[in-house]
Amino acid sequence: MGFEINGKTYETDEEGYLVNLSEWDEEAAKYLAVEEKVDLTDSHWEVINFLREYYNDYQIAPAVRVLTKAIGKKLGPEKGNSKYLYELFPYGPAKQACKIAGLPKPTGCI
Amino acid sequence: MDEESSGTVKKFAFINRKAPYGTIYALESLEVVLISAAFDQDVSLVFMDDGVYQLKKGQGTKAVGMKNFSPTYRALEGYDIEKLYVEKESLESRGLTEEDLIVDVEVLTAEEMATLMDEQDVVMSF
Amino acid sequence: MLHIVNKSPSERNALDSCLRMAKKGSTILLIEDAVYAVTKGSTAESKMKAAMAKDIHVYALWPDLEARGMQDTVIDGIKQVDYPGFVDLVADNKNVQSWL
């Protein structure tokens, strides 16, 4: 499975997550966001970039609880809560934001 | 496990005794630890025997084509898992010191480690 | 606390690690290849005797002893259990560590 943008192909698993993290680019994110029916704004990109940084540092996608806490620390308490993150990613910040950010599904994601 | 366990906090210890890439034990243990964090229990991680190699600094797995999961131990703090114990003898007999480890740990003697294990409600062996 | 060992003492360090961590009054159960550790005249004999002297209760699973033909050379003082006895040991102890 996968998709193609401007001649570049991206491989995905059966749930639509990118198979190779290194293939991810902004074009892929935009495509995945359309699939998820999310209109990407600067606020979305802030979270997406945060997730990519987190993964780069720790080699895992954070659990929602960990993500909210870490976002609060870095971007301020008004953003470090699940209400804010669910408004941006209605089907779950971990699941949906991770998918758009090209990360694997978080461990312990129910 | 039983009716009275819901809502009460139990002491869980994960005993890690295997080196990281030769078998799947280390990675499996780490996955279970991360999942267990969601249940707000009193979790301790023990590293002894070859398990201390899991925390060795400077791991690079590019050439062997496996995932380097050692950075993930540094994420544990964010998961509120802060009790990491290493057995002194295991560390020393492998020519290692605390300085060689990727995270802050508490080094315990065999005697202290034995007491810690004895105090647990649940021991998970890897 | 119950400690379970299933590896041969001459192949792995599981028994040694277990003996390092077993406290006075605790119980050790040897199963599978670990039953070789309770053989008279083996290098493990002195370790097992030292453990028993420290008031550690040492059990061996006799079906595993018998399977290996090791049932007639068991060190004195080692208790032998069958499968239901194994279950009782697990049930009677607060927690269990398997030295994989």
pLDDT at B75: 97
pLDDT at A94: 76
Q: Enumerate the H helices of chain C as residue ranges.
A: 14-21, 45-53, 62-67, 83-92
The minimal CB distance from C13 to the residues B15, B25, B49 is found for B49
The span from the CA of C33 to the CA of B11, in Å, is 31
The span from the CA of A94 to the CA of A109, in Å, is 8
> What mean pLDDT, rounded, does chain A reach?
92
Lowest mean pLDDT among A11-15, A40-44, B46-50: A11-15
- On whether residue B111 sits in a domain, the answer given is yes
pLDDT at A77: 94
Sequence-distant (6+) residues with CB within 8 A of C66 are none
A2-100 CATH: 1.10.10.370
The span from the CA of A22 to the CA of C28, in Å, is 49
pLDDT at B1: 47
DSSP designation for A95: I
C62 phi, psi to nearest 5 deg: -70, -30
The span from the CA of C47 to the CA of C22, in Å, is 12
The span from the CA of A54 to the CA of A66, in Å, is 11
Q: Which parts of chain C register pLDDT below 50?
A: none
> Which of A 16-75 lie inside 8 A of B, CB atoms?
57-60, 62-63, 65-66, 69-70
Mean pLDDT on A36-55: 96
In the predicted structure, residue A11 carries a pLDDT above the cut 80: yes
CATH of the domain at B21: 3.40.1260.10
A57 phi, psi to nearest 5 deg: -75, -40
The larger pLDDT score, comparing residue A1 to residue C44, is at C44
Distance, C-alpha A88 to centroid of its chain: 11
Comparing CA positions, the residue from B110, B113, B106, B93 lying closest to residue B53 is B93
Binding partners of B (≥3 Cβ pairs within 8 A):
A, C
Tell me the shortest Cα–Cα distance from B55 to chain A, in angstroms: 14
Percent of chain A with pLDDT over 90: 82
The larger pLDDT score, comparing residue C60 to residue A21, is at C60
Are B103 and B76 spatial neighbours (Cβ–Cβ below 8 Å)?
Answer: yes
Which residue in this structure is represented by tokens 């995945």?
A: A32
Q: What ipTM score was computed for the predicted complex, to two decimals?
A: 0.87
Our count of domains for chain B comes to 1
Are C20 and C77 spatial neighbours (Cβ–Cβ below 8 Å)?
Answer: no
Residue A107 at interface with chain B, using a CB cutoff of 8 Å: yes
| Three-state DSSP state, B84 | strand
Sequence-distant (6+) residues with CB within 8 A of A102 are A18, A21, A23, A24, A28, A29, A32, A52
Instruction: Note if A109 is an active site residue.
Output: yes
In the predicted structure, residue A69 carries a pLDDT above the cut 90: yes
Are A103 and A23 spatial neighbours (Cβ–Cβ below 8 Å)?
Answer: no
- On whether residue B46 sits in a domain, the answer given is yes
pLDDT at A108: 55
Tell me the shortest Cα–Cα distance from B58 to chain C, in angstroms: 26
Residue A107: band (very low, low, confident or very high) from pLDDT cuts 50, 70, 90: low
The span from the CA of C26 to the CA of B119, in Å, is 12
pLDDT in tens, chain B (126 residues): 454 556 789 999 999 999 999 999 999 999 999 999 989 999 999 999 999 999 999 999 999 999 999 999 999 999 999 999 999 999 999 999 999 999 999 999 999 999 999 999 999 999
C12: closest chain B residue by CA: B49
Give the CATH architecture of domain C2-99: 3-Layer(aba) Sandwich (3.40)
- On whether residue B37 sits in a domain, the answer given is yes
pLDDT at A104: 86
Residue C47's alpha-carbon distances to A24, B88, C15, C41, C65, in angstroms, are 57, 21, 9, 12, 18
- On whether residue B50 sits in a domain, the answer given is yes
Determine, for residues C95 and B126 on separate chains, whether the beta-carbon distance falls below 8 Å: no
Long-range contacts formed by A83-88: CB under 8 A, 24+ apart: A85/A47, A88/A38, A88/A41, A88/A43, A88/A44, A88/A47
| Sign, CA torsion B92/B98/B103/B105 | positive
DSSP-assigned beta bridge partners for residue C4: C29, C98
pLDDT at A110: 43
Domain boundaries, chain C: 2-99
